[in-house]
Structure 1
Amino acid sequence: MTKPQVVFDPFSDEYYNDPYDIYLRMQDEAPVYYSEELDFYALTRHADVAAALKDHETYSSSRGCDLAMVQSEEGPQKSIIFMDPPDHRVMRSLVNKAFTPRAIQAQRETVEKLIDHYLGLVDPDNFDVVQDFSGPFPVEVITRMAGVPEDYRQMVRHWIDTSLTREPGNIGYTEAGMAAAIESGTYYYQLAQERRANPQDDMISRLVEAEILAEDGQLRKLDDIEIAGFTSLLGGAGAETVTKLVGNAIVTFAKNPDQWQKLLDDRSKVPAAVEEMLRFDGPVHYNVRFTLKEAHLHGTTIPAGKPVFLMKAAANRDPRAFTDAHLFDIDRDRTESQNLGFGYGIHSCLGAALARLETTVALERLLDFMPRYEVQWDGLKKVQMQNVGGYHHVPVKVLR
């Protein structure tokens, strides 16, 4: 009996619940996958995804990073991840200063204080790792850097979660998601206007003051829509990444207790564990690009003008790239292949060093707080989100 043809629907319950078996089949059976129903292509093999992430002349970011954006007529809002060079290079150089190694290390004390604060509020007998811990603290870090007042920081997390949520079978915003996106954009737009009138020591104020070279060769300032778009994106990326990474880690370590024991025995392995988590079950599963010209892979031609899913999470589990790719091993040889967990090329994650710092400190504190724990498996709840994989709820019981 022949196996049914592999079906990849990134908006289905089956995909949201467990995409990795689907990824493996795609790599073997359809390395250049085409969806007739939704008219998109998808790449899943490591070599293909890595090459495409670096080839902005073929795979453009200018139409957006999810299917609904790429297929829409109006295109995305102005934002750094929806740009190709040379515009991207100019915008990236503006904000890189906030994410230099020195700038990130300057955030360590803030990160530690916030993590200790939220962990100090936890009830060990009734602890949801995501809702009580990895959800609240990352958004506090990134929005504080941006310049969001304290009263609105957790509201930003609510806007992000709601706007990213997708209903199975629907490629675009939910009604609540659209409202959240509008509310978020409006808030950041007003904040940009406030900072223009009254600058502070924060990222939004620095963006207000910044000048970039326009197409006509003249210097110009960013407008408030550009600033709102960027800060909204920054808040989303800075919050969701660490929230999901820490939640995924606690589930993965519960399934691999020998790896947790390695960390208990040797805390110096925590940074390596963060890298392996990014590879094994990272928070960002894909980015969508738009072909500016034909691409030829594995005997298949992807026409110009098509959405292409670049499946980073699939690539990171590709057995062609990683030995025993399906195994979670914090001691694996990390030089074997490029880890695509934080992207690759010009659009690699701007805040990767900050996310690594936050996740490392979070794991170190959790090793102290719950050296022994059990996941309450029946209480696990996965998210159904555009391009983000992870959990809404990870309830655990701390063992004494």
Structure 2
Amino acid sequence: MTDPRAFGDHQHSLGTQLVHTDAEVIVVGHAAAREIALDPASYSSGVSAHLQLPNGLDGEEHARFRTLLDIYLNAEVVAEMDFRSVARDVLDRAADSLDADRLAALFSVRAMRHWLSWPESLEDRLLDWVAENARAARSGDRAWTARVAAEYDEIITAALEATPEGSVTWHLAHDHGLEHAEIVSILRNWTAGDLGSMAKCIGVIVRALADNVPLQERLRGGVSHMEFVAIADELLRLDDPFVSNRRVTTCPAHVAGEELDAGTRVRLHWTAANRDPHTFRGFDPEGHAADNLVWGVGAHYCPGKPLSMYELHAFFAELLPRFDLVPSGDGERDLAGGWARTPVVLRAR
């Protein structure tokens, strides 16, 4: 495995748009990735043997589940969640442990628990799971990743049994006539990937701000949520931790000057596409906004973006007044995207 950012940059240096492997075609060009994502009829998301709601669905079935889930992920709904208090509590207790990655993981778990009303008794188990899931993903060992996935389904079942009436989790489980497997799949999609991804987003932004003191000071002075979102989107575009999604062609397709047979496995490499030099130049939050693919594009655009951005804004609004972010060595890149160890020191102000 190769660091996704380095892989994409190398392919761009060669002028590559599509990378052919024995198993799939990897799409690294921005224009090609966007074209495919906007054509769900020709490029199906039904690529997994496992139930994946709503990501693994197409057409009307996908739209039905997205309409249901938007009830809980609507920007106006998640804006009412007090993630600042969650971030404040995490940082208040961090005096003896100023490891940026540990703080990111802890905040990610607690913010999720706060949103879904999962019990505190699951916190250590969730933190252990985040760490093991990252190790399993880096290993490439499918048996290990399968065991980790099964463990997470057990955590979800425990949360369903303990969640209070009236919570988001309770309403999801009781209001829509969903089967248990469907509820577990939705909660896995909402949380399992997002726990690690939220922590990685924090790591990416922390490192970027450590390298850009004027931008760090700009955010420290306080910005609107809209401005924060624009800046965070651009920082994540430059080092996208949501590395890829899979598709399969439903018919013969033409993309980037090549013909793909029906049944071809396709991987949209968002990290690479978001660094395509034909589309992007430098750091430009406003100028790059329309082409930014961090959250996908089209029918499968990530509905969790508003939630993630409110969480991220809350964390940095509490972090930056307390600490200067200072670069520290080269760190360790994660072969599954982002940083495995973020090279930043938190220096108390």
1:120 aligns with 2:120: no
For structure 2, the residue ranges without an aligned partner over 5 or more in a row are none
**Cα distance in 1 between the residues matched to 2:229 and 2:37:** 25
Q: Which amino acid aligns with 2:154?
A: T
Match of 1:85 among 46, 59, 71: 59
**Residues 264 and 209 from structure 1, CA distance in 2 versus in 1: closer, same or farther, beyond 3 angstroms?**
closer
Match of 2:104 among 118, 129, 134: 134
Contact 2:84/2:318, CA 8 A, preserved across alignment: no
TM-score (norm 2): 0.89
1:244 aligns with 2:200: yes
1:396 aligns with 2:345: yes
1:35 match: 21
> Of the two, which has the highest radius of gyration?
1
2:287 match: 333
2:114 match: 144
Q: Which amino acid aligns with 1:22?
A: H
Describe how 1:1-400 pairs up with structure 2 within 5 A: 12=1, 14-15=2-3, 18-25=6-13, 28=15, 30-36=16-22, 39-64=23-48, 75-107=49-81, 109=82, 111-123=83-95, 127-131=98-102, 133-166=103-136, 170=140, 172-173=141-142, 175=144, 177-192=145-160, 194=161, 200-211=165-176, 221-264=177-220, 267-268=223-224, 269-322=227-280, 324=281, 327-330=282-285, 332-335=286-289, 337-370=290-323, 372-377=324-329, 380-385=331-336, 388-398=337-347, 400=349
Q: Deviations over 1:299-358 (max 9, x none)?
A: 311222122111112222122222x1xx3345x4245x3211111112211210011111
> CA RMSD of the aligned region, Å?
2.6
TM-score (norm 1): 0.78
SS of corresponding position for 1:373: strand
**Residues 338 and 17 from structure 1, CA distance in 2 versus in 1: closer, same or farther, beyond 3 angstroms?**
closer
**Residues 80 and 157 from structure 1, CA distance in 2 versus in 1: closer, same or farther, beyond 3 angstroms?**
farther
**Residues 300 and 49 from structure 1, CA distance in 2 versus in 1: closer, same or farther, beyond 3 angstroms?**
same
**Residues 127 and 169 from structure 1, CA distance in 2 versus in 1: closer, same or farther, beyond 3 angstroms?**
closer
Contact 2:3/2:334, CA 8 A, preserved across alignment: no
Instruction: Give the C-alpha shift of residue 115 in structure 1.
Output: 0.3
Contact 1:244/1:389, CA 8 A, preserved across alignment: yes
Q: Which has the higher contact order (CA 8 A, sep 6+)?
A: 2
Instruction: Give the C-alpha shift of residue 373 in structure 1.
Output: 3.4
How many pairs were matched up? 347
Contact 1:373/1:399, CA 8 A, preserved across alignment: no
**Residues 334 and 145 from structure 1, CA distance in 2 versus in 1: closer, same or farther, beyond 3 angstroms?**
same
Contact 1:342/1:348, CA 8 A, preserved across alignment: yes
SS of corresponding position for 1:396: strand
Instruction: Give the C-alpha shift of residue 261 in structure 1.
Output: 3.6
Instruction: Give the C-alpha shift of residue 78 in structure 1.
Output: 4.1
**Residues 167 and 339 from structure 1, CA distance in 2 versus in 1: closer, same or farther, beyond 3 angstroms?**
closer
**Cα distance in 1 between the residues matched to 2:76 and 2:139:** 44
Q: Which amino acid aligns with 1:129?
A: A
Percent identity, aligned pairs only?
21
SS of corresponding position for 1:377: coil
**Residues 367 and 101 from structure 1, CA distance in 2 versus in 1: closer, same or farther, beyond 3 angstroms?**
same
Q: Deviations over 1:75-133 (max 9, x none)?
A: 123421111122111111112111122211111x2x11110111112238x621111x2
**Cα distance in 2 between the residues matched to 1:104 and 1:23:** 38
Instruction: Give the C-alpha shift of residue 191 in structure 1.
Output: 4.3
